[in-house]
Amino acid sequence: QRLVSGLTKTRDHIVSGMDSIFSGFSQINDDFYDELEETLIMGDIGVRTTMEILDQLREKVKEQHIKEPTDCRELLIESIKEQMGVSENAYEFEEKTSVVFVIGVNGVGKTTTIGKLAGKLRAQDKKVILAAADTFRAAAGEQLKEWANRAQAEMIGGQEGSDPAAVIYDAVAAAKARHADVLLCDTAGRLHNKKNLMEELKKMNRIIDREYPEAYRETLVVLDATTGQNALAQAKEFNEVADITGVILTKMDGSAKGGIAVAIQSELGLPVKYIGVGETIDDLQKFDADEFVNALFY
Ligand code: GDP
């Protein structure tokens, strides 16, 4: 129910346009495909992905001798799902002790997302420690502390300007001492200096290699779904400098550009693991591609 309501704007943006194409054409011709193409691209699904979806659709139409444009709707839904690949990606933080690095540019909702994740894990009775390794901004640590309190998780921080790697070191020590299940690390994951970011992440990962080699590791990038193609570009750039294991798309509730989830999975092969659908601690949902496409179209 919630998933559906969080996607209202995206649904209105993509699907209503598409449905008027299905009902507006009396036969399947080049104009029909052109209009579908335009609607998908406008829906932030990405040019390359759109082309692949439409190629698949054409093939299916031919193979199954489809004549009616309205009969293409189901085939199109199928093609989108196929393009997205694996359906359920969310990591349930269950296998073993986990260290999760969270990166993303300022304002995308990184801190909020870490708070929501902590809340989700606490609700599953996991022991969670937050590492405030974004020591670049003084406010970042304070803001994370508020979320830690809300989620009832412990937070390890450092002085403004201190070495983020030192914070990680302390956080790992705390996680081990308390037998934590998950260590969530907020980082100053900035993009304006790729080399710095890469070095910073490497340094933090080396500490985990040394101090916590048995831990399961993830690096999640947080992207703002309202920024559409810009979010896709950010995902690409982050993917070049770090071993990204997944994406969290925030602000889905306010975005008409949720179609970007299709492009991220299809074009970059990165799994979308969670979506943010509001500002409170409960507004984070596991992402499931099939469910997502169904919520858009049905
Ligand atoms: P950061 O700079 O990346 O750490 O971003 P913040 O966590 O401070 O979030 C920036 C703003 O986005 C805040 O006002 C959040 O409440 C808001 N925000 C974060 N996630 C979501 C979401 O899923 N939906 C909505 N509507 N707002 C969000």
Question: Residue 216 carries which DSSP code?
Answer: E
Question: Residue 288 carries which DSSP code?
Answer: B
Q: Does the beta carbon of 250 lie inside 6 Å of ligand 1?
A: yes
- Residues 111, 89: Cα–Cα separation, whole Å: 21
Say which residue the tokens 């040394």 belong to.
210
- Residues 243, 220: Cα–Cα separation, whole Å: 9
Question: Residue 65 carries which DSSP code?
Answer: T
Categorize the per-residue pLDDT at 197 as very low, low, confident or very high, splitting at 50, 70 and 90: confident
pLDDT above 90 (res 5): no
SS3 of residue 251 by DSSP: coil
DSSP string, 232-250: HHHHHHHHHHS---EEEEE
- Residues 158, 267: Cα–Cα separation, whole Å: 38
Alpha helices in the chain (DSSP H): 2-6, 8-24, 30-42, 47-63, 72-84, 110-123, 138-151, 164-177, 194-211, 229-241, 260-268, 289-297
Please report the pLDDT score of residue 188 as a whole number: 84
Q: Does the beta carbon of 254 lie inside 6 Å of ligand 1?
A: yes
SS3 of residue 224 by DSSP: strand
Q: Does the beta carbon of 285 lie inside 6 Å of ligand 1?
A: no
Categorize the per-residue pLDDT at 224 as very low, low, confident or very high, splitting at 50, 70 and 90: very high
* Total length of the chain: 298
CA 212 to centroid of ligand 1, rounded, Å: 31
> What's the rounded mean pLDDT across residues 37-57?
95
| Angle, helix 260-268 to helix 72-84, in steps of 10 degrees | 50
Spatial neighbors of 171 by CB under 8 A, at least 6 apart, are 129, 130, 131, 133, 156, 183, 185
Q: Is 141 left (phi over 0), alpha (psi -120 to 50) or beta?
A: alpha
Bridge partners of 272, per DSSP, are 247
Taking the whole predicted model, whether its pTM rises above 0.80 is answered as yes
SS3 of residue 285 by DSSP: strand
Task: From 116, 135, 137, 250, give the residue whose CB has the most ligand 1 atoms within 8 Å, as the site to mutate.
Answer: 250
Please report the pLDDT score of residue 135 as a whole number: 86
Cβ neighbourhood burial of 274 (10 Å; 0-12, 13-18, 19+): buried
Structure confidence by residue, pLDDT tens digits, 237-283: 999 989 999 999 999 999 999 999 999 999 999 999 999 999 999 99
Shortest-distance Cα residue to atom 19 of ligand 1: 109
SS3 of residue 1 by DSSP: coil
CA 92 to centroid of ligand 1, rounded, Å: 22
> What's the rounded mean pLDDT across residues 215-222?
94
Shortest-distance Cα residue to atom 5 of ligand 1: 109
Categorize the per-residue pLDDT at 91 as very low, low, confident or very high, splitting at 50, 70 and 90: low
